[in-house]
Structure 1
Amino acid sequence: MSANHYFHRDHFKLGTFSANCSGGLAVTKVPERWDNSWENNLQMAKMADEAGFDFLLPIARWIGYGGDTNFHGNVLETVTWATALLAHTKNIHVFSTIHTSCNHPVVLAKQIATMDHVSGGRAGLNVVCGWNRPEYEALGQELPDDHETRYAYGQEWFDIVKRLWRENDAFDYHGEWHKLKQTYSLPHPVQNNVPIFNAAGSSQGREFAVNNADFLFTPAMDLEKTAEDIKNIKAAGTKVGRDVGVLTLSFSVCRPTKKEAEEYHRYYAEENADWGAVDNITRIMFENAESFPKDQILQMKQAMATGHGGFPLVGDPDTVADGLEALHNAGFGGSVLGFVDYVKEMPYFIQEVVPRLERKGIRMPVNTDG
């Protein structure tokens, strides 16, 4: 695992996001939008692994967002997806995104441990405590209206997972939502600490992330304001004795010239955006989610069409590299990336942008011993 620098805090991490979902992150109707076939995902994963990307992160979706494309209506399930990709890669971490409400903690603990053994210690867990009400209803569940309940349930759920990963002997557990008798999970993961991601915007969500996650995801809207937010998150982690990193979401449209990039961005994200799906996403997020502040959600429809609200990296390689450096300077430890077509667009990003990041000193070369 010498090529993977996941745990280096001074190394700006790069990952891909949402490649397991139809459309990826671009809510667009263009014919070349992302086809999330297994063959495409496998090609994308091998490319990212060879290029020294740090991780792959999926979205767990159970129903789509409608519109003309039914954005995210076709999805590869994240535990199966991650396990298979771990078996086909060598260095990269691959995460499963797990909804606490519909995955039993004992089952999940063993699934992640199995993934870790398959990969020799490269599994990761992205914990989602719930926000998408239509998905809850599709699964016959009710979404609690208050965030306190969602995160209290998530904390109990994750406490069980952690005990299962650390304790050899069977134990009883009598929580508010889980009643377990003589439960255990062997084998334990290969890693002493499986890396944990969490995205949160509410005060309850931030508290959960600071207490449990290695990296918290937060949007990069106003970088000056975000830099202060990152300082507060890290300070909160220090208070509880934890070194919490902060990651964000970006969307790349990288072309040889800025004009080419801007023209393509206009083509897919404005002229051919799936506005019906964008409206549904923003409405559901405004009603139920706290990953983005509510005042920003209503102002970010264009950003949703571009790449699910991610930080725009639109331009020539220098412009894109400068944008990632700006995120680094704001305090972010890395970013997940989306592309209209991951397989077709990542080679140019890898060839042109990644070396620029290395020359800027914010990423380690691929073959440097970690």
Structure 2
Amino acid sequence: MADIKANRMFNNNKFKLGFFAANCSGGMAVTQLAERWDNSWENNLKMAQLADEAGLEFLLPIARWIGYGGATNFHGNVLETTTWAAALLAATRYISVFSTVHTSFNHPVVVAKQLATMDQIGQGRAGLNVVCGWNRPEYEALGGDLPYDHVSRYAYGQEWFDVIQKLWQEEKPFDWEGHYFKLKETYSLPHPLRKSVPIFNAAGSSEGREFAVRNADFLFTSAISLARSEQEIAGIKKQAANVIRRHPLDILTFSYVVCCPTRSEAEEYQHYYSQQHADWAAVDNIIRLMFENAESFPKDQLQLIRDRFSAGHGGFPLVGTPDDVADGIARLHQAGFSGSTLSFVNYAQDFPYFRDEVLPRLEARGLREPFRPDAAQRPGEAA
């Protein structure tokens, strides 16, 4: 069996990087600019291969079923995450590709087999991002309302995840008599190559963090104030220390990047796309829905970071010269984060400058090791 370190999510880089939301129209920038991200398959394939060749650790999609309205109907056009991930695993060599799965919309026996199939395709590079649900209009679009209160949604999600974990361990059929699932003579073959895959989970509420600490390898949380983040991360790590884990819990955040040769260029472009040409109706719909239904952001901060939502869906700003962006990443690391997602107004067009200018600076700071594909361990090989 391949060693778990063959998956790049478990490499030695002190700060891991991946792309977020490239499967969604607009990516993370809620802008009306014509050059905003077009989430066509052709563009996603180009994006994925650029990230793969640059040595980034992961690709993470958003599962979305209806858009946020406004002039652009932000996230109204979205590539489904499991088929997207399977296809990208077949078209890349090194990078880990995640599927984002809503527990309430997807049966665990089906998901277990889908993820195992992805892992076979990618030779051990599949990953699962578990979402226990928050967006009420999406539930209504699928024929129902949010089925449980916040606490119960996580109880449902825990049993859902427990079923998947057992399916990935058992060779023979078994019965499951739970509160939410009654399964008879169920099983799922093949298994993932390592009997599991890296698990992501975003958590803001106390229930969400308890779920992530128990089950996730990587916990996502927002970075609004780094002083606040430092305290939160210390608390999460203390909480995780009481849980038996296969390796320590890593805390990741999400960021948006505007990187230019001069700081004034970067700041002017950020203002141009995210203020002058923002889709403010969509921004306000996102904030309203999150305030009503989600716990991803502290509610006392949602309106205060409205500008960040137009620029990058509320992510941490990495704006300026390559040195400024590297400084920002270093500050995230100093606060306790082990990595971040990245988003750009246009991933395929904007990332090469980041790759050529920022990645070498991160290597010089000791936050990342140089990526040498020819010498890299092949996915699925033993360390």
Which of 196, 200, 203 is 2:199 aligned to?
A: 196
Q: CA deviation at 1:222?
A: 0.8
Q: 1:64 to 1:130 in 2, by over 3 A?
A: same
Report the 3-state secondary structure (helix = DSSP H, G, I; strand = E; otherwise coil) of the residue aligned with 1:312.
Answer: strand
| Identity in percent | 65
How many Å separate the matches in 1 of 2:58 and 2:6?
12
Which of 32, 35, 40 is 2:35 aligned to?
A: 32
Q: CA deviation at 1:191?
A: 2.4
233-242 vs 20-29, greater mean Cα deviation: 233-242
In the alignment, which residue of structure 2 is the partner of 1:305? 310
Q: 1:239 to 1:355 in 2, by over 3 A?
A: same
Letter in 2 for 1:181: K
- Is 1:44 the counterpart of 2:44? The answer is no
Task: Note the 1:104-253 alignment, pairs <5 A.
Answer: 104-144=107-147, 146-242=149-245, 243-253=248-258
In the alignment, which residue of structure 2 is the partner of 1:60? 63
| Conservation of the 8 A alpha-carbon contact between 2:165 and 2:196 | no
Which of 341, 358, 365 is 1:336 aligned to?
A: 341
In the alignment, which residue of structure 1 is the partner of 2:73? 70
| Conservation of the 8 A alpha-carbon contact between 2:205 and 2:296 | yes
In the alignment, which residue of structure 1 is the partner of 2:381? none
Q: 1:165 to 1:4 in 2, by over 3 A?
A: closer
TM-score (norm 1): 0.98
Q: CA deviation at 1:141?
A: 2.2
How many Å separate the matches in 2 of 1:189 and 1:4?
12
1:109-151 C-alpha deviation (Å, 9 max, x unpaired): 0000000000100000000000000000000122146211110
1:130-186 C-alpha deviation (Å, 9 max, x unpaired): 000000000012214621111000001000000000111111111121111100000
| Conservation of the 8 A alpha-carbon contact between 1:5 and 1:11 | no
| Conservation of the 8 A alpha-carbon contact between 2:109 and 2:167 | yes
251-260 vs 239-248, greater mean Cα deviation: 239-248
How many Å separate the matches in 2 of 1:241 and 1:32?
47
| Conservation of the 8 A alpha-carbon contact between 1:3 and 1:366 | no
Report the 3-state secondary structure (helix = DSSP H, G, I; strand = E; otherwise coil) of the residue aligned with 1:69.
Answer: coil
How many Å separate the matches in 2 of 1:277 and 1:369?
43
1:91-117 C-alpha deviation (Å, 9 max, x unpaired): 000000000000000000000000000
342-351 vs 290-299, greater mean Cα deviation: 290-299
TM-score (norm 2): 0.94
In the alignment, which residue of structure 2 is the partner of 1:316? 321
Letter in 2 for 1:120: Q
How many Å separate the matches in 1 of 2:6 and 2:80?
27
1:163-222 C-alpha deviation (Å, 9 max, x unpaired): 000111111111121111100000100123310000011111000000000010001111
Report the 3-state secondary structure (helix = DSSP H, G, I; strand = E; otherwise coil) of the residue aligned with 1:313.
Answer: strand
Q: 1:101 to 1:4 in 2, by over 3 A?
A: closer
Report the 3-state secondary structure (helix = DSSP H, G, I; strand = E; otherwise coil) of the residue aligned with 2:367.
Answer: coil
How many Å separate the matches in 2 of 1:326 and 1:347?
23
| Conservation of the 8 A alpha-carbon contact between 1:3 and 1:91 | no
| Conservation of the 8 A alpha-carbon contact between 1:4 and 1:52 | no
How many Å separate the matches in 1 of 2:274 and 2:240?
37
How many Å separate the matches in 1 of 2:241 and 2:6?
29
Gaps of 5+ in 2: 378-383
How many Å separate the matches in 1 of 2:110 and 2:186?
11
1:73-108 C-alpha deviation (Å, 9 max, x unpaired): 000000000000000000000000000000000000
In the alignment, which residue of structure 2 is the partner of 1:351? 356
How many Å separate the matches in 2 of 1:145 and 1:252?
36
Letter in 1 for 2:140: E
Gaps of 5+ in 1: none
Q: CA deviation at 1:301?
A: 1.1
1:263-299 C-alpha deviation (Å, 9 max, x unpaired): 0000000000000000100000000000111111122
How many Å separate the matches in 2 of 1:165 and 1:325?
37
Q: 1:20 to 1:263 in 2, by over 3 A?
A: same
In the alignment, which residue of structure 1 is the partner of 2:332? 327
Letter in 2 for 1:147: H
**C-alpha root-mean-square deviation of aligned residues, in Å?**
1.4
Letter in 2 for 1:314: V
